[in-house]
Amino acid sequence: MTVYGSFPGARPRRLRTTPAMRRMVAETRVHPADLILPAFVREGISEPVAISAMPGVRQHTLETLRKAAVEAVEAGVAGIMLFGVPADEKKDGAGTAGTDPDGILQVALREVRAEVGDDLVIMSDLCLDEYTDHGHCGVLDADGRVDNDATLERYAEMAQVQADAGAHVVGPSGMMDGQVGVIRDALDSIGREDVSVLAYTAKYSSAFYGPFREAVGSSLRGDRKTYQQDPANLRESMRELALDLHEGADMVMVKPAGPYLDVLAKVAEAVDVPVAAYQISGEYAMIEAAAERGWIDRDKAIMESLTGIKRAGANMILTYWATEVARWIGRQGYDVVCD
Ligand code: PBG
């Protein structure tokens, strides 16, 4: 036998020999309690509406949303993140429907809270883009630019209305400067010190949000590059992180997840608060589309994508597959699902 020098001197393959061995030495496991289900609820529909770029995901009616929340609880999912889709005629320049106590998101928060109580962590997207007729995440100034500080006033009011409606956690996703601090103050000022802020700390201006825009019926023209981050930047995320923590963020998030695992790893290493990652609509759509064509094994690709996000440092993962994956794990155990 030809031996090249003294190699191999070590044999890592010994720890990969059997499923039982691989299971024993696995460093990362995804658990249902890591998962948060993002869900869309649309005003004025009597049946759920399919989202063509996100096969398997629907715009819920209030009734099917309540059912989805119950199913999430039964599967062991940790939380639900709600997005409201108002009727088109309710959209205006200021995103008024976002602060109307009878706006779709607030109604949904009340109903879901009444349905599942504290069995699920109920989170609300705190952003204006679903409610504005121009589709931006904030209000515009006279020149049509997103007005940071005027937007903060809207966010403060949104936080209070969402807390009143039953959110355990508010998730500001608009990337306005100072949003976490203003929201914290607004909540405290009405005695809602109990409501947490999940800060979208590093939110990049991403092409992978495409299917989401269909999901919320976004009317955005142009882009969000004056407020969301440039994909080229990493150091900038550390600055956003320092600011969010200083302003009182209880948890921080990196979004998207898959293309930004380096950001996630660096954030996770730097903080002593829980870290979330959002596996967004485009990440979902890519796997579903490739699987539909028979190009990849859908279930394995889903588990691998989630395992990678957890391995990079996420404590919580927002994923549209949350309930499905939680069921797989519950039935078979994580390792069987993966092997
Ligand atoms: C903004 C918001 C977006 C997403 C979550 N919150 C869209 C955007 O910034 O354009 C995207 C989520 C996804 O793509 O799955 N309210």
Peptide bond into 256 cis (omega under 30): yes
Whether the CB-CB separation of 155 and 179 falls below 8 Å is answered with yes
Tell me if the pTM is above 0.90: yes
**Residue located nearest, by CA, to atom 10 of ligand 1:** 209
pLDDT tier for residue 6 given thresholds of 50, 70 and 90: confident
| Interval 198-212: pLDDT, tens | 999 999 999 999 999
Q: What is the pLDDT of residue 218?
A: 87
Q: Does residue 339 register a pLDDT over 90?
A: no
Please tell me whether 155 is known to bind a ligand: no
312 lines ligand 1 (CB under 6 A): no
> What is the CA(21)–ligand 1 centre distance, in A?
40
Q: Give the number of the atom of ligand 1 that is nearest the alpha carbon of residue 200.
A: 6
DSSP element (H, E) containing 275: strand 275-278
209 lines ligand 1 (CB under 6 A): yes
| Interval 128-182: pLDDT, tens | 999 999 999 999 999 999 999 999 999 999 999 999 999 999 999 999 999 999 9
User: Mean per-residue pLDDT for 44-67?
Assistant: 97
Q: Does residue 286 register a pLDDT over 90?
A: yes
In sequence order, the 6+-apart residues with CB closer than 8 A to the CB of 88 are 217
Please tell me whether 43 is known to bind a ligand: no
The catalytically annotated residue of 91, 255, 266, 310 is 255
* C-alpha–C-alpha distance, residues 298 and 289, integer Å: 9
Please tell me whether 213 is known to bind a ligand: yes
Task: Give the pairing of strands 35-42 and 58-60.
Answer: parallel
**Residue located nearest, by CA, to atom 6 of ligand 1:** 173
Q: Which two tokens stand for residue 227?
A: 């407020």
* C-alpha–C-alpha distance, residues 80 and 60, integer Å: 13
> What is the CA(212)–ligand 1 centre distance, in A?
6
| Interval 218-269: pLDDT, tens | 879 889 999 999 999 999 999 999 999 999 999 999 999 999 999 999 999 9
Percent pLDDT > 70 in the chain is 96
Q: What is the pLDDT of residue 1?
A: 58
| Interval 27-41: pLDDT, tens | 999 999 999 999 999
Q: For this structure, is 255 an active site residue?
A: yes
> What is the CA(101)–ligand 1 centre distance, in A?
22
- Identify which has the larger pLDDT, 335 or 324: 324
Q: Which two tokens stand for residue 193?
A: 């010190």
Q: What is the pLDDT of residue 199?
A: 98
280 lines ligand 1 (CB under 6 A): yes
DSSP element (H, E) containing 184: helix 179-189
**Mind listing the domains of the chain with CATH numbers?**
30-218+229-338 (3.20.20.70)
Whether the CB-CB separation of 187 and 160 falls below 8 Å is answered with yes
Q: For this structure, is 203 an active site residue?
A: yes
* C-alpha–C-alpha distance, residues 111 and 335, integer Å: 36
| Interval 113-122: pLDDT, tens | 999 999 999 9
Q: What is the pLDDT of residue 221?
A: 84
In sequence order, the 6+-apart residues with CB closer than 8 A to the CB of 263 are 202, 234, 237, 254
Q: Is the dihedral of CA 104, 105, 108, 109 positive or negative?
A: negative
Q: Is the dihedral of CA 237, 238, 240, 245 positive or negative?
A: positive
Please tell me whether 320 is known to bind a ligand: yes
Widest pairwise Cα distance in the chain: 80
